[in-house]
Amino acid sequence: MKKKKIPMRRCIVSNEMKPKKEMLRIVKTPEGELAIDPTGKKNGRGAYVSMEPELVEKAQKNRAFDKQFDMVVEESFYKELYDYVAHQKARSLL
């Protein structure tokens, strides 16, 4: 039986390659807004971050999404992203 290929993505904070399902996609929509994309299918330019709250904090400190999407990202977006990742991490540990 043929093995199914697992799509890999690179985290913009840690530069680690991980399976796409273990990552969270952040998308800049054609309207120029930033959004969390849990499905991984929204239209727009995407970047991936690992589902680790520490990496989200590091992304905020280093302004990783500002550089990636060439725009100013609001602090509220980083807070929303941190809350989402922390919630998902807690759910996965149950």
Where are the extended beta strands (E) located within the chain? 8-10, 17-19, 23-28, 34-37, 45-50
Query: 20-29, pLDDT tens digit by residue?
Result: 999 999 999 9
pTM of the model: 0.89
Neighbours of 88 (CB within 10 A): 14
Asked if pLDDT for residue 55 goes beyond 90, the answer is yes
Q: What's the token pair of residue 9?
A: 């993505």
> What domains lie within the chain, and their CATH numbers?
8-93 (3.30.1230.10)
What is the per-residue pLDDT across 29-54, written as a single tens digit (0 to 9) for each? 999 999 999 999 999 999 999 999 99
